[in-house]
A = this chain, B = another copy of it.
Amino acid sequence: MKINGTPYRTIWTAADNEAVEIIDQTRLPHIFSTIRLENMRDAERAIRDMQVRGAPLIGVTGAYGVALSMRHHASNAALNATCDVLLAARPTAVNLRWGIERMRAFLAPITVHERAAAAWQEARCIADEDVEINASIGRHGIALIRELHQKKNSTVNILTHCNAGWLATVDWGTALAPVYAAFDAGIPLHVWVDETRPRNQGANLTAWELGQHGVPHTVITDNTGGHLMQHNMVDMAIVGTDRVTAHGDVCNKIGTYLKALAAYDNGVPFYVAMPTPTIDWTLQDGVKEIPIEERAEEEVTHISGLCNDGQVRTVQLTPAGSRAANYGFDVTPARLVTGLITEHGVVAANAGAIRTLY
C-alpha cells in the first residue's frame, strides 16, 4: 500500500540486495522511518523490540533473518543456532515459529554453499505468498462491500477494531485488504477506526496506514461503535483474528466481542478476515478453551503520544495506587459472526461451512 503516494511493503530487500529493510513500527504514527537489517541479530532485535509486529510480518521477518544469517555462516550448526536465536525473540509467536521452521526444513537438505542463495529465494517466496493470500482475501471481501454500495448507493461505512491492516502483514492486510481493494476500485467508503485501548493500534497504526493510502477514515473511542450502529452509521464491521476455533469462535483483540454484540443487536454484518491457517482445528468452544493473555498493567496505566515540544512522551493516566488489569484478547462466539473472509472465499462461521474450506 502507499505511504505519501509511494507504494511500500512492510519488509523488502534493499536495493543492493545485501539486506532487508523494514518500517520501524514502534515510531508510528508520529515518525516514519525505515531500518536496514543486515544480519540475524538485526532481525532478532526488530522482532523482539516489536519494530515489526503482526503475526504474518513477524513470520516473514524470521524467515529473512535466517536468510541474512546464511549469507555469513551456512553450516548446519549455524542454521540451527540461527533458528534458536530467532525463535527466542518472541517465543509465543506461532507465525514466527512457522516461518523459521519452514526455512530450516527447506534449507536442511541443501548443500552449505548453495544455502545462502536458496534461503534468500525462499524468504522472498514466503513474503510473496503472504501478499498473495491477503490480496485474495481482498478479492473475496470486495464483493461484500460492493454489494452494500449497490444497495445503499452512497458511501459505505466500515468499522474496524485494532490493526489488521497492511502494517501487520507484508502488504494488503487481512481486515483491511477488502477495504483497500474496494477503495482502489473506486467504491466510495469511509472507515470508523476504533482506537483500541490499551495499545491504541487503531489510533496509531490503522489510522496512519489508511491516511497514508488516502482512505477516508475517522478515529473513534472504543466506546463509540454501539451508538454509531444504533444510528445506521455503520454498514459493516470487519476485524482480523489471532485464532478461530473449528466451530467459528473468534479470538481477537480485547473489545472485539463488544462490537460484535452491538452489530448483532443492530443487524450490522460482522465479518472476520483471516488466512485459513488461523483456524485451530483442535479447539471447539473458544470462550471456554482459549486462554487469554494478561499483559503488563503499565499498558493501561500509561500512554505515549506526541508532546507539543515535538517529543514522544509517556504519561500516567491513573492515580497513584490504583491497579489495572490488562487482558489482551477476548472471544467472540460464532453466533455473532456473519462470515469469515478467507483467501479461499467467504464462509459462515460454523463447523460445517468452515470444513468446506478444505
- Which residues on A are within 8 Å of B, measured CB to CB? 28-30, 192-193, 195-198, 200, 203-204, 207-208, 210-211, 217-228, 230-231, 253-255, 257-259, 261-262, 265, 287, 292, 300-308, 312-327, 329-331
Contacts and interface: CB of A to CB of B under 8 A. Distances in A.
Contacts of A197: 195, 197, 221-223
A224 B262 contact: no
Contacts of A314: 307-308
Nearest to A286: B230
B300 A195 contact: yes
A227, A325, A329 — which one has the most chain B CB atoms within 10 A of its CB?
A: A227
Nearest to A254: B223
Q: Which secondary structure dominates chain A's binding surface?
A: mixed
**Chain copies in complex:** 2
A155 to B, nearest CB: 15
A258 B301 CA distance: 22
A195 B255 CA distance: 13
A264 to B, nearest CB: 9
B226 A318 contact: no
Contacts of A208: 319, 322
Contacts of A195: 197, 300, 317-318
B313 A306 contact: no
A317 B230 contact: no
Contact of A307 (B207, B253, B261, B313): B313
Given A195-B317, A315-B306, A315-B313, A222 B221 contact: yes
